[in-house]
């Protein structure tokens, strides 16, 4: 069986690929994990128990026992046996299994332990990461090193840039950019104008502006592979005049105007994440306030609703431009897209699904914005609210 390569970095494009139609059964496993201390030994044991329970649920769905189930779960049990993997965890682990698909992500979310076997992956627990008030990226760039980080409020992780084809430093970029390395000339100017050289600024020495611009273009082209479908803040860390040059070449529209100045080689990823969050948080808060105010202004116009029975069909048809959902809330029921029939139940019944998850999923698929917030941040204090596109 061909296993789709997995990535530890859960991007919006990655999630969109996951929630497209997959072969059944689609198995979603969530569990909280301990980062440090004696409890870390329980992570591996808990995961094995969840896998056994997931196998039982899969068999109950009608999958034939024996080789078919063993093949489906083989990569997950291999992960269970990987002792090095379990030595470094985040707050939660998300695992997705389907025929030909295996993904796992260590994420800064304290998941409730759960197993879902169905026609599609259950993704609502990870949607807070894709809320328009959650994530950010950092591009830490110097002449000698390129680092890309994905961050959250209190967590930062370094992205493996090798699959993106990103140069590790300026010398490598120039080595592969042209057959022959350009000869370094004598300095003729300082600054970002003309074709001059730069001296003594964070390691950018004796390189013509054209060479640096080629390097920045290579970095940006590689970065777009990661940021495809993203609309999260990108915070630049580096010297000021290189930031000015990067702003000229980047095609990413969500590069923050505020940046982290200085040579990032001397700054840890944790410190970069802390400073980048301060910048991106202001962006997120502004976005949430503007969306909430627009919702309040739209009440009574037919373009705003807090009625789940109205929101779910609207999300399915791509009408929801902005969705507000209370973090951790669940509303169970069923929706038939063909007939438009929707039923809401006090507790889960056979064939039910979380309708808040369904609304968020359809909003996500139709490129709407999602705000997963605490109840006191909701525009109307209800579990769900939506702004319609039309």
Q: Which residue has the higher pLDDT, 217 or 122?
A: 217
In this predicted model, what pLDDT tens digit does every residue of 290-340 receive, in sequence order?
999 999 999 999 999 999 999 999 999 999 999 999 887 889 999 999 898
Q: Are 117 and 27 in contact (CB under 8 A)?
A: yes
Question: What tokens were used for 333?
Answer: 């029921």
State which CATH number among 3.30.70, 3.30.960, 2.60.300, 1.20.58 fits the domain covering 12-122. 3.30.960
Confidence label for 186 from pLDDT (cuts 50, 70 and 90): very low
What pLDDT is recorded for position 182? 43
Q: Where are the domains of the chain?
A: 12-122, 136-283, 299-388
Q: Which residue has the higher pLDDT, 289 or 20?
A: 289
Which residue in 157, 138, 163, 134 sits closest to 148, CA to CA?
Answer: 138
Q: Which residue has the tokens 């390129």?
A: 146
Q: Which residue has the tokens 């048809």?
A: 317
Give the C-alpha separation, 354 to 357, whole Å: 5
Query: What percentage of the chain reaches a pLDDT higher than 90?
Result: 44
At residue 260, φ and ψ (nearest 5 deg) are -100, 105
Give the C-alpha separation, 216 to 200, whole Å: 19
Q: Are 357 and 335 in contact (CB under 8 A)?
A: no
Give the C-alpha separation, 206 to 42, whole Å: 54
- β-partners of residue 304 are 387
Give the C-alpha separation, 371 to 287, whole Å: 10
Q: What is the mean pLDDT of residues 210-225?
A: 92
Q: What is the mean pLDDT of residues 55-73?
A: 79
Q: Are 124 and 357 in contact (CB under 8 A)?
A: yes
Confidence label for 67 from pLDDT (cuts 50, 70 and 90): low
Q: What is the mean pLDDT of residues 363-387?
A: 88
Residue 194 has pLDDT above 90, yes or no: no
Same fold, 12-122 and 136-283: no
Q: Residue 35: left if φ>0, alpha if ψ -120 to 50, beta else—which one? A: alpha
Residue 180: count other Cβ atoms within 10 Å of its Cβ.
5
Residue 235 has pLDDT above 90, yes or no: yes
Q: What is the mean pLDDT of residues 133-138?
A: 82
In this predicted model, what pLDDT tens digit does every residue of 265-286 receive, in sequence order?
989 998 999 999 999 988 888 8
Lowest-confidence range among 81-85, 235-239, 260-264? 81-85
Question: Strand pairing of 136-141 and 146-152?
Answer: antiparallel
pTM metric for this prediction: 0.69
**Burial of 364 from C-beta contacts in 10 A (0-12 / 13-18 / 19+):** buried
Question: Strand pairing of 320-326 and 369-373?
Answer: parallel
Give the C-alpha separation, 279 to 285, whole Å: 11
Give the C-alpha separation, 140 to 263, whole Å: 9
Under DSSP, is residue 33 helix (H, G, I), strand (E, B) or coil? Answer: coil
Give the C-alpha separation, 381 to 342, whole Å: 23
Mean pLDDT for all residues in the chain: 84
CATH fold, domain 299-388, is 60s Ribosomal Protein L30; Chain: A; (3.30.1330)
Residue 37 has pLDDT above 70, yes or no: no
What is the helix (H) or strand (E) element at residue 77, kind and residue range?
Answer: helix 67-81
Confidence label for 31 from pLDDT (cuts 50, 70 and 90): very high
Q: What is the CA radius of gyration of the chain?
A: 24
Q: What is the mean pLDDT of residues 165-178?
A: 81
Confidence label for 132 from pLDDT (cuts 50, 70 and 90): low
What pLDDT is recorded for position 216? 94
Architecture of the domain whose range is 136-283: 2-Layer Sandwich (3.30)
């Amino acid at each position: 069986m061909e296993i789709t390569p997995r990535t530890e970095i859960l991007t919006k494009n990655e999630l969109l690929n996951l929630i497209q139609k997959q072969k059944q059964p689609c198995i979603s496993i969530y569990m909280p994990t301990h980062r440090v201390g004696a409890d870390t030994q329980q992570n591996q044991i808990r995961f094995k128990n969840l896998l056994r329970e997931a196998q039982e649920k899969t068999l109950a769905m009608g999958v034939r026992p024996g080789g078919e189930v063993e093949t489906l779960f083989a990569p997950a049990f291999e992960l269970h046996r990987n002792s090095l993997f379990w030595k470094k965890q985040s707050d939660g682990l998300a695992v997705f299994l389907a025929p030909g698909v295996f993904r796992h992500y260590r994420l800064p979310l304290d998941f409730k332990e759960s197993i879902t076997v169905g026609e599609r992956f259950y993704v609502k627990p990870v949607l807070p990461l894709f809320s328009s008030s959650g994530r950010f990226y950092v591009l830490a760039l110097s002449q000698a090193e390129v680092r890309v980080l994905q961050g959250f409020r209190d967590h930062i992780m370094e992205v493996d840039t090798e699959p993106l084809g990103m140069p590790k430093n300026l010398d490598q970029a120039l080595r592969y950019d042209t057959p022959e390395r350009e000869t370094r000339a004598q300095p003729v100017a300082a600054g970002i104008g003309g074709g001059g050289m730069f001296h003594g600024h964070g390691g950018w020495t004796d390189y013509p502006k054209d060479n640096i611009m080629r390097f920045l273009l290579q970095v940006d082209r590689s970065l777009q592979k990661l940021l495809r479908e993203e609309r999260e803040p990108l915070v630049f860390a580096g010297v000021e005049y290189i930031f000015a040059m990067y702003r000229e070449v980047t095609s990413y529209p969500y590069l923050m105007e505020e940046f982290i100045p200085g040579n990032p080689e001397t700054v840890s990823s944790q410190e970069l994440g802390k400073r980048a969050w301060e910048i991106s948080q202001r962006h997120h808060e502004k976005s949430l306030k503007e969306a909430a105010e627009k919702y309040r202004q739209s009440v009574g116009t037919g373009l705003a609703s807090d009625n789940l029975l109205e929101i779910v069909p609207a999300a399915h048809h791509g009408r929801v431009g902005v969705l507000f959902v209370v973090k951790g809330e669940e509303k169970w029921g069923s929706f038939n897209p063909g007939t438009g029939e929707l039923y809401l139940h006090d507790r889960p019944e056979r064939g039910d699904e979380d309708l808040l998850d369904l609304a968020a999923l359809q909003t996500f698929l139709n490129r709407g914005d999602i705000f997963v917030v605490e109840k006191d941040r909701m525009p109307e204090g209800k579990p769900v609210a939506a702004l319609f596109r039309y």
